[in-house]
Structures are given as C-alpha cells and as structure tokens.
Structure 1
Amino acid sequence: MQTVRELNPDLVLISEPYKHLSTQPWETDSTTKAVIWACGGCTFQSSANNNEAGFVVAKLEGIYYYSCYAPPSLTLDEFKNLVDRLTEDAKQYTPIAIAGDFNAWAVDWGSKETNARGKILLESMSSLDVVLLNSGDKPTFVRGEANSIYLT
C-alpha cells in the first residue's frame, strides 16, 4: 500500500496479496490469489472471470487487464490447463495486458534456463498479440541465493 501511495497508479495487478481490501474497487479470481485493484480515480468498466481459478480480467479505460497466479504446487497438466484457459479467454478481447506470477522460468525474461512451465507459457503467449515487457536483468523476488524475474 505504501508503494501505491508513493506512485499513485490508477491500477495495480497483484499476485498473492498479503491483505484484501474490502473498501476499494478490488476484483479477484476464485482463489483470491490474482487481484486487480483500481486504486486511482478510474473505475472498472467491466470485470469477468471472478469464478476462474488462476486469473481475473477487468476492463479499465478501454484496456482489458489480466492478473494471474499459478502456484508452484500445480502439476504440469494443471499449469497447462490454466494457461490454455487464460489464452483462450484473452483471445476474445483487445487490447489486453497480462501480468502475473506464473512460477515459470525462461531465458526470454532473464532466467538462467527455460523450464517446462516456461515453454508452455511461451508457446501459449505466442498465440496472442502481446509483447514481453521485462528487461530480464533485474530480479523482482530475492530470497537468499534464489531469485526470480517475473513475466509481465
């Protein structure tokens, strides 16, 4: 919340929030792990897929925003199912922005190697008109020797 106060964005896409805000325009997936927060002066034009597990979508200022979360506990088949549902849903909207924590690694966004989840995600995203925004050189998560660079 401090970062939101400092940066004053209109919209925040969150994976695994520490706390849920009941007083704000706040949309979540069925697991409450993928969140879209309209924290500026804008309001959602529409929202959908609140009953989906793994992603939620909301329209703000003419753009469809997806917030996604794929826990590391998902099997490869469960992960593929989530990504397939996400890409099929995203094909019906334009323009779109997809952000989230997929717990997937790929050299394309700065990981040391591409794992099976990364391959699935890259293949699925290639069917959409999206551009990878990560610079690929700065970790967004660091714990001891481990770090991650998230796909946005």
Structure 2
Amino acid sequence: MNAAPSFKLLQGNLNHCSRAQDLLLQCLTECSVSLAVVAEPYRVPDHPRWFGDNAHLVAVYWAGGETDPPCSRRHTGQGIVAVDWGPLAVIGCYISPNCSLVAYEAFLGRVGDCIRGCLPRPVLVLGDFNAHSRTWGSKSDNARGNAGESIVDLSWTTASAERLVTGWRVAEEIVTLSDHRHITLDVTLQLPVRNGRQGESPARRWALKRLDRDMLVAAAHVVDWSGAAAEGATPDLEQRAARLRADMAAICDAAMPRVRSGRRGPAYWWSDHIAQLRAACLRFRRKFTRARRRRTASAVETEERYREYRNATVALQLAIAEGKSRSWSGLLDGLDRDPWGRP
C-alpha cells in the first residue's frame, strides 16, 4: 500500500514589503511549497491562485501544481481567510497590534466561529496574533498574550489535523527581509482516488474572472447544434455522460482560458547575482544573530555585525529592484522590435 503523499506548507509575515513578497515567490518555487499563508502581504494579486481577506491583511497562495491538492475559498472576513485544501481546512489570520483589547477579543471570537464552520474537517490555523508574553520569550506581558494564549506567529491544529502535520520548524535559512521568520510545515494528506484509479489527470480549472459571457452563449449554441443529430443515438448512459463532459469542456475552453497547472519557474527578475546577494544576506544575518546571543560579545561588535547585515539587505533589495526594472525595459524593447512575437 502506497504511503500518503506529503506537501509543504509555508507561513510567513511580509510587513507590507514589496521586496519581501518578491523573495517569497521565488522561495515558494525553490522549496516546492504547495500552499502559503501570508500575513501583511504587500499586495494580493487578482489571480485564481490567491485568496485574500476583506482588508488585504492576510492571504493564501496556492501553487496549483498537478500533484497538489485542490484549493478553493471557504470563508472571507476582516483579517481572516479560509480555504479548503484537499481534505484539510486552512485558516489564515492577522490582527493589528494597534486595536483595542475589546476588538481583539471580538476577532478571536470570529476566528472561533470560522473554525466551527469548517468542522468536521481537520483544521489548521496559521497567523500573526500580535500577542506578547514572557512565557514564550517576549520581554513583557500584554493583555493580548493573556487572552490569546499564543505566540506572535501561531500555528495550531484541531485534534483531527494534528496527526497530519509531520514536521514544523522555523526556516532560519530563508531570507525574509523582515523581523519575522518563515515557518514551514510538512502535511501528509491522503487524497481521494477518483473512480478507484491512481494517477488520473488532475481536475481541469478555468479562470472564471476572464469569462466572456457572449462567447459562452455562442459556444453553447454551436455545441447544441452539432450534437442535435447525435441526440439519443446511443442508449449507453456512460457514453452520453462522457459526451456531456466533453461538450461542457469545449464550451468553457471557448469562453475563458484555463488555469495553468504545474510549478512556476524562477521569477522573471531572478539571476545568479541576486542568488549570491541573498546567500550573503543570510550569512551576515547569522553572524549578527550569534553576536547578539553571545554574552561575551561587545556592543561594538554587535553593532558592526548589524551594520554588515543591514548593508547586505539593502544591496539585495536594490538588486531585486534593478533586475525587475531591467526585465521591464527588455520587455518594452522586445515589443518595439517584434510586437507580435515573444513579448
């Protein structure tokens, strides 16, 4: 009997930083992440693989690979977004540190309502709750820490989902350009087998936001006309059902584009030079972290290590901006040279 497949899930906070989001997208590709829950995204793209809350405070990104579990939106609220990911319900959360305790407790109540609405599915909750307590290493307590009973970046599950999480760790090797560290989880999911057959092609998906309604109606008429002569030609229900599925797929193909499956390649602005700068940034961050933790390190040494880390971070951000600008200029030049070609 084959073991259930394992999928990688990432939890992060981007602090509304555009460069942090650029690096996150590259990281998702390199690490083969199937699903990501992101607090404080810089922006939530209008794309069927992105699911954002009502205020763009938290978002879920779905990779949409051929072997990834299907994903669909379940619930959207203020600072809350929930999706169905295969047999699992995943809830992303974010609450501002500036709201009152009354508003914070009301937010926790809405999270609880969302969890109850997802049951009996296994539920995984990931988010930034901005709650501080000396119990988990903060310098001081606050009322949110007492009310939420959580660390700042929280990952927790219902009892039925606990056995599905086979790995949880802070990904210190990932450069985030933020004071937050990304968290990675390995989730083992036993996906349902369609019609009892393994290896069947994944479900087809279409970009509904790009639907051409006039073309949809026209395509339906054409399919109806072409199939009128064959109506009732075969009494076999399986064949008639297969024909109906093929007709519906043809109508959808004519009216809107399909959502592409498969892993994305590297970001269009990515280069070996940026990869080297990211590695240098990580190296200097480790030196700064070690100096800050060592009791024997002087304040001058700690400040010097921080300056090196900060300079490396700025160099990485500038290189990303330059790479994106250069790629955009190349695209415009390509349009001038060949307006109907590759660009």
The answer to whether TM tops 0.5 is yes
Rounded Cα–Cα distance in structure 2 between residues aligned with 1:13 and 1:148? 13
Q: Counterpart in 2 of 1:98?
A: 125
Verify: 1:49 aligned to 2:75, yes or no: yes
Rounded Cα–Cα distance in structure 2 between residues aligned with 1:81 and 1:15? 19
Q: Counterpart in 2 of 1:129?
A: 158
Question: What do residues 82-129 of structure 1 show as CA deviations (whole Å, max 9, x unaligned)?
Answer: 011101220232311111111111345443444211221129x9xx83
Verify: 1:2 aligned to 2:22, yes or no: no
Superposition pairs for residues 22-37 of structure 1, below 5 Å?
22-37=46-61
Contact 2:39 2:58 in 1 (8 A): yes
Superposition pairs for residues 79-90 of structure 1, below 5 Å?
79-90=104-115
Verify: 1:63 aligned to 2:88, yes or no: yes
Q: Any unmatched runs of 5+ in structure 2?
A: 1-24, 186-343
Counterpart among 100, 103, 120 of residue 78 in structure 1: 103
Deviation at 1:2, TM superposition (A): 1.6
Contact 1:109 1:135 in 2 (8 A): no
Contact 2:44 2:59 in 1 (8 A): no
Rounded Cα–Cα distance in structure 1 between residues aligned with 2:106 and 2:148? 11
Deviation at 1:21, TM superposition (A): 2.2
Residues paired across the two proteins, number: 139
Runs of 4+ deviating beyond 4 Å? 133-136, 147-150
Question: What do residues 120-148 of structure 1 show as CA deviations (whole Å, max 9, x unaligned)?
Answer: 1129x9xx8367x9779x8x953xxxx79
Higher strand proportion, which one? 1
RMSD: 3.1
AA aligned opposite 1:72? P
Whose Rg is larger? 2
Contact 1:104 1:117 in 2 (8 A): yes
Rounded Cα–Cα distance in structure 2 between residues aligned with 1:26 and 1:83? 24
Q: Counterpart in 2 of 1:111?
A: 138
Contact 2:95 2:104 in 1 (8 A): yes
Judged with a 3 Å threshold, the aligned counterparts in structure 2 of structure 1 residues 106 and 135 are, in CA distance, closer, same or farther, namely farther
Judged with a 3 Å threshold, the aligned counterparts in structure 2 of structure 1 residues 62 and 104 are, in CA distance, closer, same or farther, namely same
Contact 1:111 1:148 in 2 (8 A): no
Q: Any unmatched runs of 5+ in structure 1?
A: none
3-state secondary structure, aligned to 1:105: coil
Q: TM-score, normalised by structure 1?
A: 0.75
Rounded Cα–Cα distance in structure 2 between residues aligned with 1:23 and 1:88? 27
Q: TM-score, normalised by structure 2?
A: 0.36
Contact 2:124 2:158 in 1 (8 A): no
Q: Counterpart in 2 of 1:39?
A: 63
Question: What do residues 23-69 of structure 1 show as CA deviations (whole Å, max 9, x unaligned)?
Answer: 3411111111111111242331x42222x101110010111001001
Rounded Cα–Cα distance in structure 2 between residues aligned with 1:40 and 1:110? 37
Higher helix proportion, which one? 2
3-state secondary structure, aligned to 2:33: coil
